[in-house]
Amino acid sequence: MRLILPYVLAATCIVSGPAMAIDPPAAPPADRPLSEFVTSVGKDGSITFRLFAPSAKAVSVVLGSRAPLEMTKAENGLWSVKTEALKPNLYEYYFNIDGFRSIDTGTNMPKPQRQVNTSLVLVPGSILDIRDVPHGELRLVTIPSKALKSQRQTYVYTPPGYSDISKPLPVLYLYHGFGDTVDSWVTQGRAPQMLDNLFAEKKMEPMIVVIPDTESDTPEATPENFPTADRRKTFYPANADAIDRELVEDLIPYMKTHYRVRDDADGRALVGLSQGGYQALVSGLTHLGTFGWIANFSGVSTTTVPNKGVEAALNTPEKINESLRNFTVTVGTQDQVTGKDIAGLKSTLDEKKIKYDYVEYKGLGHEMDVWRPSLEAFLQKVFKK
């Protein structure tokens, strides 16, 4: 003990010594309004990107698929750049700060993602705006999922005028894509605004829209646990099976119990983008007596992710044509993510003589500028006689 004790005391002195003071990051000057230091949209539709980063050496902003916009630094440490007038839309962007990708910490609209690295900015003047019209009600409900053995959060949109004594309404189930969250169709897709505005213009039928989480997060199907190279052949099938069970065993029964909804196939639609498009195929085609409307926006297909249920259904084209009121497929012509999937699906549908609506968005890739217009168009035809 006599030999060891001095070393223990010495170590204790080192650990318990005074900590080095760390200066907090610089903040914008207190005598100036904060609006001078944060991103804003001009009346002409231009966007002025701003970032207060006095210590940064180089900052640029990446707006959508555009080339990076180099920002200039003022003496007060503010970086900024102004775009030309942009058309009304919801745009994605992020900052590159000395090689580090960052959201815009000066705004309140991050893109809903499992790993957040992008911000959103709205240039007003489109169907995505919050207009002075009657508004539906958007609820975030927590559903005990027996199929997944977990508590699951799901959005439910009911149209203006809906009440517990309303006549039964049709239901559209709307799935998001890979890497996104249950908030994606709400925040980035702007589905509630789109529904309110189309309803006010009498362009769509009254309906209830259910927006679930496309990720099951079960032990055997958690996205982050799969290498990117193996994701489609391993994660997608397991997750699609789990989400299908949740849909049939939990979501549809929940809606029948808690809302006045139709209980016929023509009164149910299944829609999804990308990974959610694959889910629409899997659940829609394997439950033809449950759903009468299916839409796949830039979705993964059995071209890259085989599914026995889907393939069996595709081999009964007469049954599909008889069961479905509408089968919609859309894609951007420059889609490098699921373009081959949609091409393969289209070829199969043509070969089997299965009826479907097909829409290409010229010059666009795997992006919301395909999926929001796809939803807008689909909402105007679904559930109509």
Measured distance CA(248)–CA(258) in Å, rounded: 15
Residue located via tokens 């499992």: 114
Between the alpha carbon of residue 137 and those of residues 132, 159, 172, 183, 195, the distances in Å are 15, 7, 15, 15, 11
The predicted pLDDT at position 165 comes to 77
Residue 77 Ramachandran class (φ > 0 left, ψ -120 to 50 alpha, else beta): left
Measured distance CA(22)–CA(42) in Å, rounded: 38
The predicted pLDDT at position 280 comes to 98
CA atoms within 13 A on the CB side of 53: 22
The predicted pLDDT at position 123 comes to 98
The predicted pLDDT at position 241 comes to 97
Q: Encoding tokens for residue 156?
A: 């439910």
Equal CATH topology for 34-123 and 137-379: no
pLDDT digits (tens, 9 = 90+) for 141-153: 999 999 999 999 9
The predicted pLDDT at position 4 comes to 39
Measured distance CA(303)–CA(176) in Å, rounded: 20
Measured distance CA(116)–CA(181) in Å, rounded: 10
Name the CATH topology of 137-379.
Rossmann fold (3.40.50)
pLDDT digits (tens, 9 = 90+) for 53-78: 999 999 999 999 999 999 999 999 99
pLDDT digits (tens, 9 = 90+) for 309-345: 999 999 999 999 999 999 999 999 999 999 999 999 9
The predicted pLDDT at position 8 comes to 37
pLDDT digits (tens, 9 = 90+) for 104-143: 999 999 999 999 999 999 999 999 999 999 999 999 999 9
Residue 369 pLDDT > 90? yes
Mean pLDDT (whole number) for 7-11: 37
Residue 41 pLDDT > 60? yes
Measured distance CA(88)–CA(45) in Å, rounded: 7
Beta bridge mates, 3: none
Q: What's the pLDDT band for 12 if we cut at 50, 70, 90?
A: very low
Measured distance CA(368)–CA(211) in Å, rounded: 16
Residue 16 sits at the vertex; the CA angle it makes with 14 and 19, to the nearest 5 degrees, is 95
The predicted pLDDT at position 269 comes to 98
Question: CA quadruple 186, 187, 192, 194: dihedral positive or negative?
Answer: negative
Q: Encoding tokens for residue 270?
A: 């299944």
Task: Decide which of 14 and 310 is more confident.
Answer: 310
The predicted pLDDT at position 312 comes to 96
Name the CATH topology of 34-123.
Immunoglobulin-like (2.60.40)
Q: What percent of the chain is predicted at pLDDT more than 90?
A: 88
Furthest CA-CA distance within the chain: 93
Per the CB < 8 A criterion, the answer to whether 181 and 112 are in contact is: yes
Question: CA quadruple 53, 181, 377, 190: dihedral positive or negative?
Answer: negative
Instruction: List, in order, residues 6 or more apart from 313 with CB less than 8 Å away.
Output: 285, 286, 288, 319, 320
Backbone φ, ψ for residue 83 (5° rounding):
-90, 170
In the chain, count of helices (H) and strands (E)? 10, 17
Task: Decide which of 251 and 22 is more confident.
Answer: 251
Measured distance CA(269)–CA(195) in Å, rounded: 15
Per the CB < 8 A criterion, the answer to whether 188 and 367 are in contact is: no
Instruction: List, in order, residues 6 or more apart from 1 with CB less than 8 Å away.
Output: none
Instruction: List, in order, residues 6 or more apart from 241 with CB less than 8 Å away.
Output: 282
**Number of neighbouring beta carbons within 10 Å of residue 219:** 9
Mean pLDDT (whole number) for 191-219: 97
pLDDT digits (tens, 9 = 90+) for 222-248: 999 999 888 899 999 999 999 999 999
**Number of neighbouring beta carbons within 10 Å of residue 87:** 9
Radius of gyration of the chain (CA): 25
Per the CB < 8 A criterion, the answer to whether 374 and 342 are in contact is: no
> Rounded mean pLDDT of the chain?
93
Residue 13 pLDDT > 70? no
Kindly list the domain boundaries of the chain, sorted by start residue: 34-123, 137-379
Strand, coil or helix: 299: coil
Measured distance CA(286)–CA(351) in Å, rounded: 19
Q: What's the pLDDT band for 200 if we cut at 50, 70, 90?
A: very high
The predicted pLDDT at position 20 comes to 60
Mean pLDDT (whole number) for 172-185: 97
pTM score, two decimals?
A: 0.92
